[in-house]
Structure 1
Amino acid sequence: MERLPDLPAGDVLDALRTAFTELAAGAAAQPPQTLTLLPSGGDVIAYQAVLGDAYGVKVSPYLPQPDGKGIVTAWTLLLSTRTGRPLLLCDAGALTVERTAATSVLAVDRLASPDAATLAVIGSGTLARAHLRYARAVRDFTSVRMYSPSLTPATVPEGVSVAGSAEEAVAGADVVLLCTSAAEPVVDAAAFRPGTVVTSISTNAPRAHEISPAALASLEVYGDYRPTVAGTAGEMVIAAEQGLWSAEHLRGDLPELVTGACPAPTGERPVFFRSVGLGIEDLAVARLLLEKS
């Protein structure tokens, strides 16, 4: 399968919510991602998971090229844990976009105030637009601002205003979605007002971080999966090495958030949610694809 069918945002969010609930109950398995370095340069990351009667693995190679722009692909395989037979093989590029955006917004739905009205999106590419679509499925935002150096009034999504800078976009926002490929901070997370929810995703850049590692100590920090996020997310790894923050301060992860097993934000500090990507997210969306096909 090379083209991803249209999947309603609500269906994807429900599939992820169910997957993380099963993971919390011990009815699913989420091993750490594995990184294989290639002798010729580059690497391959494998994301595995077991959910219900399906095993899934996504393999994502990063292949440096002489012209400086590396090749990144992703393929997802599902097979039955009852028969051992393959169920699905698909180009996971579009699937990864959907699960990444939906995972961020699943956290927003649990962490943001029910009356959150102002949204800022930093970035304007495919991932940023997917984040926007999912965010609109969980909150009725009355004001949406987007910033990217390449964004113009002619290319901005409907109902979104173009900000002149990242700082302008995030000023006074209730929710901030960071959707860039940056390897260094793009906003000052420590300057956000209490209760603001900020999400951040991973890129292929080594130790990539969209906020400053030093900011973590002033934030209420959540991640996608407690056993893996602190050892993978760039800002968390750097902050731990510098003695600025430790994984003990992680307030909760998605299995805990969807089941109410971790503390909710206090409203006293900004809230930061970090995702690094999980096999169970790929598997949940891939199973949904099977149902829709």
Structure 2
Amino acid sequence: MRVIATPHVSERAMLAALREAFGDLSHSEVAGPGQFVVDLPDGGDVIHYPAVLPGAGVYAVKVSPYLPQEAGPAVVTAWTMLVSLSSGQPVALLDASDLTVERTAATTVLAADHLLPPDARTAAVIGYGRIGRAHARYLRHVRPGMAVRAYAPQRPEHVGDGVEAVADIRQALAGADLVMLCTSAADDVIDPRNLAPGVVVTSISTNAPGAREIPPAAVPDIEVYVDARTTLDVATELVQAAGSGWDPDAVRGDLADLVADKAQLPSGQRPVYFRSVGLGIEDAAVAWAAYEYDNETTEGRS
């Protein structure tokens, strides 16, 4: 089994791997499994992200421990193992910490590219740490003409690379066609009901207990898309909205639908919301892409 400590996938290859994986999922009779969480006795947990890549002939599972510490920040790691479906033997073990940041941003941007109109001009990134910067980078890759503003209250000095730093969220949101929420919040960051019809808002998950970035009360008034239907059982604001009477069948499509052009596209009459929580199919696709890249570079050196 090969251990790949510093896996690499280019932005182009990352997006291509995700498009292919979700495209395959769209016409598969087997639904992609969701996350599985194992709570640890002394606090923390380990999330498992399983998936099958039939074309590659591998089963993959990413495990991501979250280990709170008495002093200092929690320890968070991520490792993906690829297992051959023919031999049953492990093929590779990859450090997935950086890959997770990349696939999270690439997944958001892949969805946003399908949900935005062709003439979308301005994007706002709320929260500009590693994941926020990756979101901006992938957006520049698929929509190079869009201007990007970032609100980064903790570390504004990290804003650069053609991204405009702004002083507050209101300034970031003004006139934005796309709002990418990249915070570690466990409570509301914005209310999409205050945005113009057609504005696309994206949100990701974090390790914060009950993580959410919009109020559950807003969900019935926006057009909701998800990375997968299993997200409806995980995303806090969607779960709480359903508990208050919102019908999950109102979801207009998942990412596989969008990639395959099967989803109902935004009507332009209400704000649009894409919610992702991270899926094993994403981790499997990018791990396989990294494994193939490592094979190519290894052969090139031999």
TM-score (norm 1): 0.95
Deviations 1:71-111 (A, max 9, x none): 11111100110111212101110010011101101101110
The aligned counterpart of 1:179 is 182
Mapped partners of 2:146, 2:222: distance in 1: 26
Q: Counterpart in 2 of 1:222?
A: 225
User: Which residue number in structure 2 is paired with residue 22 of structure 1?
Assistant: 24
Corresponding residue of 1:37: 39
Is 2:207 aligned against 1:204? Answer: yes
Match of 2:283 in 1: 282
Amino acid in structure 2 at the alignment position of 1:108: A
CA distance in 1, matches of 2:204, 2:7: 21
* Cα distance in structure 2, aligned partners of 1:27 and 1:56: 19
Q: Secondary structure at the match of 2:233?
A: coil
Q: Give the 3 Å change call, closer, same or farther, for CA 180–238 of structure 1 in structure 2.
A: same
Shift in alpha-carbon separation, 1:191–1:141, aligned structure 2, 3 A: farther
Unaligned stretches of 5+ residues in structure 1: none
| Aligned residues of 1:119 and 1:175 also touching (Cα < 8 A) | yes
The structure 2 residue matched to 1:240, chosen from 242, 251, 264, is 242
Deviation of residue 4 (structure 1)? 2.7
Q: Distance in 2 between matches of 1:276 and 1:250?
A: 15
Residue 241 (structure 1) shift: 1.8
**Which segments of 5 or more consecutive residues in structure 2 lack a partner in the other structure?**
295-302
User: Are residues 1:50 and 2:30 paired?
Assistant: no
State the Cα deviation string for residues 223-262 of structure 1 (Å, max 9, x = none). Answer: 0001x1111001101112223x231111100111111112
Q: Is contact 1:29–1:49 with CA below 8 Å preserved after alignment?
A: no
Q: Is the 1:220–1:269 Cα contact (8 Å) retained in structure 2?
A: yes
Partner of 1:97 in structure 2? 101
CA RMSD in angstroms, aligned pairs only: 1.4
- Check the 8 A contact 1:195/1:271 in 2, yes or no: yes
- Which residue of structure 2 aligns with residue 151 of structure 1? 155
Relative to structure 1, the CA distance from residue 37 to residue 142 in structure 2 (aligned partners, 3 Å threshold; closer, same or farther) is closer
Q: For 1:157, what is the secondary structure of its paired residue? A: coil
| Secondary structure of residue in 2 paired with 1:150 | coil
Aligned residues: 289
Query: Which of 191, 195, 204 is 1:192 aligned to?
Result: 195
Once the two structures are TM-superposed, the CA of residue 48 in structure 1 deviates from its matched residue by 0.0
Counterpart secondary structure, 2:158: coil
The CA distance in 2 between the partners of 1:160 and 1:252, in whole Å, is: 31
Does structure 2 conserve the Cα–Cα contact (< 8 Å) formed by 1:28 and 1:50?
no
The answer as to whether partners of 1:29 and 1:50 remain within 8 angstroms in 2 is: no
Q: In the alignment, is the contact (CA less than 8 A) between 1:199 and 1:274 conserved in 2?
A: yes
Question: In structure 2, how many angstroms separate the alpha carbons of the residues matched to 1:33 and 1:144?
Answer: 32
TM-score by length of 2: 0.92
- How far residue 25 of structure 1 moved from its aligned partner, in angstroms, is 1.3
Mapped partners of 1:165, 1:47: distance in 2: 35
One-letter code of the match for 2:89? Answer: R
Displacement of 1:28 = 6.2
AA partner of residue 134 (structure 1): Y
2:112 aligned to which of 100, 108, 122 = 108
Show the counterpart of 2:145.
141
Structure-2 change in CA distance of 1:21 and 1:27 (3 Å): farther
- Which residue number corresponds to residue 261 of structure 1? 262
